[in-house]
Amino acid sequence: MTTQVIVVDDEAAIREAVREWLELSGFEVRVESSAEDCLKRLDADFPGVVISDLRMPGMDGMALLQALQTLDRELPLLMITGHGDVPQAVEAMRLGAYDFIEKPFTPERLLESLRRALEKRRLVQENRRLRVQVELKDQLDGRLLGVSRPMAQLRRQVLDLASTPVNILLRGDTGAGKEMVARCLHDFGPRAGKPFVALNCAAIPENLFESELFGHESGAFTGAQGKRIGKIEHAHGGTLFLDEIESMPLAQQVKLLRVLQEQRLERLGSNQSIAVDIRVVAATKPDLRDEVRAGRFREDLLYRLNVAELQLPALRERREDIPLLFEHFARQASARLGRPQPTLTPAELAQLLAHDWPGNVRELANAAERHVLGLSTGQAERTEGEPSLAELMETYEAQCLRQALARSQGDIKAVMALLQLPRRTLNEKMVRHGLERGEFLPGDDL
């Protein structure tokens, strides 16, 4: 339970007496001599309770109540009143005050009311947090598409880590969606209103890397005719996404490590130290531990970047997501190109499910665009080890079951109606595909 309490009273003796009572009972207390000073220190996210005297010079308790109601209608206010002010205190409760306490009062009377008010505040804020989480989950479901178990796990991890300040390393094959995940980590966290700056380390010539990352002053080198703000400085307050981090030159790895350690940088050609506040999301295809052993990557920088690591599944590892993703990309291509969206035939679907997708989601998006243009879906020649027809049908069946369970939020009767299956057959298929009803209940992915 939160323990934060603000006591507002113009009489110093009462303020200090109440502070002492509450602190001895384990509460974190702040005292203010006026309602105006109290309001300067409050916002809608305040996790505690306000205790205020009714009669005060300037803004009195009733005026403070009105101001608090404007700030947050569910912020509890306990009103302390004199004997003659009881009718006004009753009116204050009608207007939204949590309780009134008549002078003289005992510490026990105050503590009883305060604990109830704090519990109410805790529940209000917990419900708000859960509502926000549900809203964010719904939004994230529309960004990181897929009904497969690996994608459900990835979405949970993104929601868990988005609100943290730690640096994150993304591992995944080319085209698996690393930049999309990085953007979600930024957009669903507290830095969302600040810059998201992306840099592909493999695309920068080594002789320009320092200037691109750290910036430079005019005349710092031949051709530097003006001051340039580097990517790190531009990302101040937000997120710096470093794709293909394994391609960063060793000399620049040293300088990046220093920036991450000290949260300060110097532009090329300058001696001035500039404070920066960034969160780094780095992405790589190879295992950076192997790069460290090969002498191509600094071990100390790896530890700075890899506070948390997310593994992005390859498309071949989540084949049940292919129809959903293809439909999504085809719909986008149809709108962008002004072409009707052709229906996907069973033969074309089998072709999509049979392909190994070495280019992952990026390759699938290209195939969807070609499909809208009336061209081939881009089936590669079949190679050994590709799934058989029976395996493809199993994959498709698992996808249908997942979609029905997700749509019905785990309601088995609703799934039976959607798929027109008897209970026993549905249970057998769920067991065979490793599906559990609990995965799809409302709020399970929070």
Least confident of 5-9, 344-348, 388-392: 388-392
Give residue for tokens 């529309």.
142
Q: How far apart are CA 158 and CA 137, in angstroms?
A: 10
Tokens read off for 263: 């949260």
State the pLDDT at residue 2: 43
User: Which class is 4-129 in CATH?
Assistant: alpha beta
Domain boundaries along the sequence of the chain: 4-129, 145-313, 316-440
State the pLDDT at residue 382: 45
Domains 4-129 and 316-440 share a fold: no
Tell me which fold the domain 316-440 belongs to: Helicase, Ruva Protein; domain 3 (1.10.8)
Highest averaged pLDDT of the listed ranges 31-35, 305-309, 352-356, 436-440: 305-309
User: Phi and psi for 11 in degrees, rounded to 5?
Assistant: -95, 115
What digits encode the pLDDT tens for the residues 244-296? 999 999 999 999 999 999 999 988 888 889 999 999 999 999 999 999 999 99
The residues, ordered by sequence, that sit 6+ positions from 224 with a Cβ below 8 Å of its Cβ are 211, 216, 217, 218, 268, 269
Q: Is the pTM of this model over 0.85?
A: no
What digits encode the pLDDT tens for the residues 42-56? 887 888 999 998 888
* Cα–Cα separations (whole angstroms), residue 133 to 44, 138, 308, 444, 446: 18, 9, 21, 11, 7
What digits encode the pLDDT tens for the residues 336-388? 999 998 888 777 888 888 888 999 999 999 999 999 998 864 444 444 555 66
Q: Which superfamily does 145-313 belong to?
A: P-loop containing nucleotide triphosphate hydrolases (3.40.50.300)
Q: What is the mean pLDDT of the chain?
A: 86
Amino acid at 75: L
